[in-house]
Amino acid sequence: MRAPLDPAAQALTNAVKATAEVHHAREQMLNAANRRQQALLAAHHAGLSIRQIAAQLGCSPAVVQHAIQTARSIHPP
């Protein structure tokens, strides 16, 4: 049987695990943000106005405009 870790070693082990979880969550959020930007851009290309998209999402037109501009800069036509 393995001896229990001392408190400092256990704290570091916990920190390493938490860091891995944070990195995974950050990657998931970045991927979701990218998919959202692409979806907003597609909706705009399909004919919806920025105001229409914003109304459907419950956010300001400025948020939609920024997401569309970001999507265009990352993925130009």
Task: Name the band, by pLDDT with cuts 50, 70 and 90, for residue 1.
Answer: low
Could you give the CA distance from residue 24 to residue 11 in angstroms, rounded to a whole number?
20
Of the candidates 48, 75, 9, 38, the one whose C-alpha atom is nearest the C-alpha of residue 17 is 9
Could you give the CA distance from residue 48 to residue 54 in angstroms, rounded to a whole number?
10
pTM over 0.75? The answer is: no
Helix ranges (DSSP H) in 1-77 = 7-45, 50-57, 61-74
Mean pLDDT of 4-26: 93
| Contacts of 23 by beta carbon, 8 Å cutoff, 6+ apart | none
Mean pLDDT of 27-47: 93
| Domain that includes residue 69, residue range | 21-74
**In a domain? residue 5:** no
Percent of the chain with pLDDT over 90: 75
Q: Enter the tokens of residue 76.
A: 């130009």
**In a domain? residue 54:** yes
**In a domain? residue 29:** yes
